[in-house]
Chain A
Amino acid sequence: MIKKFSWKALFLGLAVFVLLLFVPRYLPRFQVYLFALIFATGLLAVSLNMVLGLGGMYQFHHAVFYGIGAYTVALFITKTSLSPWLGFIAAPFVSALFSLVIGLICVRLSKLYFGMLQISLGSLVWAVVFRWYSFTGGDDGIHGISVPDLISSTGGAYYFSLAVTALCLVIMFRIVNSPFGRSFQAVRDNPERSEAVGINVKRIQLTGMVIAGIFAGVSGSLFVVIEGSVFPELMFWTLSLEIIIMCLLGGWFTFLGPMLGAAIIVLLRTFVGIYTEYWTMILGIVLMLLILFLPQGVLGFFQEKFETDGMKTIREEK
């Protein structure tokens, strides 16, 4: 996951960004919408990978923070008369708060117990949202949310998602390569030794969770801009597992792998969904084959083929 800064990567990233700027001019609206959805979903997957891949924590219910971010924006716009932009600023903070509370309760445990406790807390949040008709709209959710004019068109939503996603990716990349990112990875690979050299394991893990929660909240707020609605399925546990699949699909020892995984899943759902209503079966079969034959993910597979830096040793140590 750790990757040294290189001019080549920076140039490549900038080139892709500039290319993406021209997408709304040449592609039909539906495809522009799909691109925006891929940005939001990809940001969500990369944020999960911050804890799952980098920290090795079993973050089983990441979708909760995504849903919280989306609901924060939706409720800000529909229930208050404040500026909608404040909602976008509030979303990551509210997600961070939930992340902190859930994290404080969960980090005492590890591995499967951590994951299960997180699922139960997340299900609690889901159940409240699912039933609180007067506030969250219950199982119907909230529809027809009017986001600010600037970003309400497909093109506007696209540019907003692109800008926010790019900014978040840069920040996350910096975090991954910061001293914090290194310690987080050390905790993943060997918690006992990290503890011994003076790293506060639980605090590092909690910080990681909060950071991931913040970016999940941002991605949730993008979802509101793109779709204009929120519903409780955004924080149902099946979505959480789907995000984990995205990370696995792209490769969770790479930084941008989850982005690729998200793109594959979103495109698969859209285009297979046109031909058959049984697209989840296709997804299931793909996932099965993936686990049986390609556990390091698509991007991980290619990296292994073409690169011989420290990646391999990291994987083997794990």
Chain B
Amino acid sequence: MDFASNITLSALFQQTLVGLSRTTILFIVASGLSLILGVLRIPNVAHGSLYMIGAFIMYSVNLFFGGGQAGFWIAVILSPVAVALISLAVERGLFQHLYEREHLMLLLFTFSITLVFGDLVKMIWGSDYRCVDLPSAFQGFFTIFGFPFPRYNLLLIIIGPVVAFALWFLTNKTRIGKIARAAAVDREMVGAVGINVSLIFAAVFVIGCFLAGLGGALVAPTQNIRQGMDHAIIIEAFLIVIMGGLGNIWGALLGALIFGLTDSIGILVWPQFAIVFPYVVVVIVLLFCPKGLLKSTW
């Protein structure tokens, strides 16, 4: 067993940065999930499917525009928008009739959407692996403190806090965000003062799903796009949300940070069991703080 044999300062530094870029993806996906859980109280398993669809649309749009700088950015913007439109249709068509159901039913209902979306993706894109090539500006490495570091990962690390700030601004400083937070606490009261809660819920749902699509689009160049990435991400996102505190954006950030870093550092410590480490940490955290690290909105 090559236990902890390849820990060097350089590797540690590099893996930390890799972990931070992974954190960005996890945070973007988990914050959308957390938003929907916190306001709408829906444990949305279909979130992972939307992430996968975002990645596949990213691939197709990027291909359509022939790759390159322009195609890449158009794809990064278009695919979350497309995912948001899909989610709008799902919310208006199906979910708005189900808000009163118990959580278990909602969970199963979103799981049924996952099954349908999974096969739809298989129908449209087939079951081959897909890759998105980075435009030349993001290929190659920066040298940080003498260590090489992929440029794209650095971009991700910058995008993470930007999204976190945008979300904080949206929920705390805008009218719709304030109404949404109020509706999360007492839906009937908000409705009683003459606000159309149904529309607010739709907006929150669409924003949350937009984030899933964005996460999928951003992750596309860093890994193979394939069937099954929906099942992998959703469980991670759920654990992050639970670990951070349901419905708490900063909790999602903290959870994603812990999850991403233990994953990437774990590869150095014990490569074979690297995927086990984040789960161990989640279990330890939940043992001591069963309701998550930060205050949940529930």
What is the 8 Å Cβ interface bit string for chain B, positions 95-120, against chain A (1 contact, 0 not)?
A: 00110010111011101111110111
The chain A residue with its CB closest to the CB of B118 is A280
B111 close to A241 (CB less than 8 A):
yes
Distance (Å) between the CB of B247 and the closest chain A CB?
12
A163 within 8 Å of B (CB atoms): no
A237 within 8 Å of B (CB atoms): yes
Complex interface: stretch among A5-13, A42-50, A108-116: A108-116
The chain A residue with its CB closest to the CB of B123 is A278
Give the contacting residue for A119; candidates B101, B103, B235; CB below 8 A.
B235
B116 close to A120 (CB less than 8 A):
no
A113 close to B283 (CB less than 8 A):
no
B242 close to A288 (CB less than 8 A):
no
Q: Scan residues 56-71 of chain A and give those whose CB is less than 8 A from a CB of chain B.
A: 58, 60
CA–CA, A127 and B273, complex, Å? 8
Give the contacting residue for B275; candidates A130, A236, A288, A292; CB below 8 A.
A130
B138 within 8 Å of A (CB atoms): no
A120 close to B118 (CB less than 8 A):
no
A197 within 8 Å of B (CB atoms): no
Give the contacting residue for A281; candidates B94, B116, B272; CB below 8 A.
B116
B199 within 8 Å of A (CB atoms): no
A164 within 8 Å of B (CB atoms): no
Complex interface: stretch among B141-149, B160-168, B284-292: B284-292
A295 within 8 Å of B (CB atoms): yes
Total number of residue pairs linking A and B with CB closer than 8 Å: 108
B280 close to A108 (CB less than 8 A):
no
B208 within 8 Å of A (CB atoms): no
A116 close to B238 (CB less than 8 A):
yes
A111 close to B103 (CB less than 8 A):
yes
B122 within 8 Å of A (CB atoms): yes
B97 close to A292 (CB less than 8 A):
yes
A21 within 8 Å of B (CB atoms): no
Closest 3 CB pairs of A and B: A284-B115, A281-B119, A287-B112
> What are 19 inter-chain pairs, A to B, with CB distance below 8 A?
A60-B107, A109-B290, A120-B242, A120-B282, A123-B235, A124-B276, A124-B280, A127-B273, A131-B276, A237-B235, A280-B115, A281-B115, A287-B112, A288-B94, A288-B116, A291-B105, A291-B109, A292-B98, A295-B105
